[in-house]
Amino acid sequence: MIYSRWRPETGGYDYFEAGPGIPLGNDLPKPSLGIGSSIGVASVDIGRKMPLGAKHVGSGPVAKGMVTPVAGTSSLGALALSIGFGEIAMVVGGALLGWWLRGKSK
């Protein structure tokens, strides 16, 4: 079975080969989607897990076989990618306002 992993730095995909493949008639494993936001899940975090022992067999401009998540991403990475600076500023500002109001009530 061939697996493809996106290379965000240079574009294109790295290809890996692992095992004899999935026999015909069997359902594929459900892909891992990680943590999403109101607009979905970060594309770099979606894909099927690459089996241990997969060997690099080449690279190219398009995906072949099954697509795996980008190397080094995690659900936390997807969450960080989906949150903008405005949302972070609102959370920090709300926390500071709460802290300030709490001090005024004493």
Q: What is the mean pLDDT of each run of 10 residues along the chain (106 residues)?
A: 87 88 64 72 75 90 88 51 63 84 74
Q: What is the pLDDT of residue 46?
A: 74
Task: Show me where the domains of the chain are located.
Answer: 2-104
Beta bridge partners of 40: 37
Closest C-alpha among 41, 50, 40 to residue 71? 50
| 3-class DSSP state of 99 | helix
pTM of the model: 0.55
Residues found in the chain: 106
- Beta-sheet strand order (sheet of 2-6): 55-60, 13-17, 2-6, 66-68
d(CA 26, CA 106) in angstroms, rounded, equals 65
